[in-house]
Amino acid sequence: MDIFKTAEGEQGLSNEEIAALLEKSLEGRTLRNVLVIPPDFTRYHSNAGFITQTYWRLLTARGVNVDVMPALGTHVPVSESQWKTMFGDIPYDRMIVHNWRTDVVKLGEVPADAVKDISEGLWTDPVAVEVNRRIMDERYDLIISPGQVVPHEVIGMANHAKNLFVGCGGADMINKSHMIGAVCGMEKAMGRDHTPVRRLFDYAFDHFVAQRPILWVLTVNTAPGGKIRSHGLFIGEGRNCLTEAVKLAQQKNIDYVEHGIRKCVVYLDPSEFTSTWLGNKSIYRTRMAMADGGELIVLAPGVHQFGEDKAVDALIRKYGYRGRLHTLEVFKRPDADDLRANMGAAAHLIHGSSDGRFSITYCVKNITKEEVEGVGFKAADYDEMVAKYDPGKLQYGYNTVDGEEIYFIPNPALGLWINRERFQG
């Protein structure tokens, strides 16, 4: 049974309304063991923390054993302080850490012919379908997957099967799905539903995982001033919940600007963005709104590394964010085995560049200017830039600073910005 609820006002659904719908989703179920797969702290504004806490209380009160495994993908595990902030009174020792390198089982593969059709001939290799072994564990009577449907640079709209095949997936799917998204082009994907990577995940789900008892609990949120507002909740066991959530997210999470932005200032909350791997959402989500020759200024006080782990960090330092065509050329070189072995990183390098169309200036406190410039960005002193572009004083959207028009975005993870003049439809 699908349970869809859209808020009537802009304040969103109340916690009481959400909790009642979650309780309703458990009616008629006899459960002993439940696996909950929420996003990690980088998706704090998904409201999945509250949803996971609510399910925890409802289920444990019934004597159900509940395991919680954040969908990390290749991110670092949730810290104890992050866990407390997001998941409240759920004990930290109940967290299961997904290891994308070692803790997966192979279910089969998306064949080459299907991949070729999905990518319109741009990628012709088969893709292995791997998921964390717990997803296939018959002990679980129910697997609950909460998360936010929001524009995404690889898949178009995040969540649903992505939570399994990337968040809890293995190397081949993570790497190749990101490369398929990169070669097909972000502009063809972001903010849309039936994109090449979404079709890849739909195929994998329908052929290998559809028989598992998975309950999707999808939110559509905004977070003005950092306060989460859930405008819709879509609960179901099929794809309909995603289809309907995408429609609402396209209304709530895409902002059209009337002309290309000449200067855009993006602030990255240090509790959420600690690497360019995460912080480059400032690039992904604004590139469709930036004017040719414009400047993107990224205020990133918490960014202290490039990759989320040492191996990826080293690849970013070695190859840099130097554009789609350059990265694809390097990818084919005989001496780039390390990059081919980590296609997710190669795709990230493509996504993290403006392809020379506008400049990107990173303003950090814990990486040297030389290191920032070494990966292909411009660098500026954080304290000097934040004195001029104070996030505490700027309003979301257009501002005038020293007689110059700038566009300010306080959190790039919550939306997608598009120049209406340039990107019709």
3-state SS, one letter per residue, for 142-198: EEEEEEECCEECCCEECCCCHHHHCCCECHHHHHHHHHHHHHHCHHHCCCCCCCHHH
Q: How confident is the model at residue 425 (pLDDT cuts 50, 70, 90)?
A: very low
Residue 271 has pLDDT above 50, yes or no: yes
Contact 237, 214 (CB under 8 A): yes
Residue 307 has pLDDT above 50, yes or no: yes
The CATH number that domain 3-252 falls under is 3.40.50.11440
Report the alpha-carbon distance of residue 70 to residue 68 in Å, rounded. 6
| Confidence at residue 423, expressed as pLDDT on a 0 to 100 scale | 57
As a whole number of Å, the CA-based R_g of the chain is 21
Query: Reduced to 3 states, what is the DSSP secondary structure of residue 87?
Result: helix
| Region 190-199 average pLDDT | 94
Exposed/middle/buried for residue 295 (C-beta within 10 Å: 0-12, 13-18, 19+): middle
Report the alpha-carbon distance of residue 77 to residue 75 in Å, rounded. 6
Please provide the average confidence, as pLDDT, over all residues in the chain. Answer: 94
The CATH number that domain 255-419 falls under is 3.90.226.30
| Confidence at residue 146, expressed as pLDDT on a 0 to 100 scale | 98
| Region 374-384 average pLDDT | 98
Residue 73 has pLDDT above 50, yes or no: yes
Report the alpha-carbon distance of residue 299 to residue 350 in Å, rounded. 21
In our burial notation (b when 16+ CB lie closer than 10 A, e otherwise), range 109-128 reads bbeeebbeebbeeebebbbb
Residue 131, both tokens:
């998921």
| Confidence at residue 378, expressed as pLDDT on a 0 to 100 scale | 98
pLDDT tens-digit profile of 316-345? 999 999 998 999 999 999 999 999 998 889
Residue with tokens 């659904």: 13
Report the alpha-carbon distance of residue 222 to residue 82 in Å, rounded. 20
Contact 328, 355 (CB under 8 A): no
Residue 95 has pLDDT above 90, yes or no: yes
Report the alpha-carbon distance of residue 407 to residue 405 in Å, rounded. 7
Helices (H) then strands (E): counts for the chain: 16, 18
Annotated domain spans of the chain: 3-252, 255-419
pLDDT tens-digit profile of 104-128? 999 999 999 999 999 999 999 999 9
Residue 328, both tokens:
């694809």
Residue 424 has pLDDT above 60, yes or no: no
Read off φ and ψ for residue 131, nearest 5 degrees. Answer: -140, 160
pLDDT tens-digit profile of 345-358? 999 999 999 999 99
Question: Which H helix or E strand runs over 265?
Answer: strand 261-267
Read off φ and ψ for residue 290, nearest 5 degrees. Answer: -75, 140
Contact 156, 195 (CB under 8 A): yes
pLDDT tens-digit profile of 112-169? 999 999 999 999 999 999 999 999 999 999 999 999 999 998 899 999 999 999 999 9
Query: What 8-state DSSP symbol labels residue 280?
Result: T
| Region 373-377 average pLDDT | 98
Residue 374 has pLDDT above 70, yes or no: yes
Q: How confident is the model at residue 190 (pLDDT cuts 50, 70, 90)?
A: confident
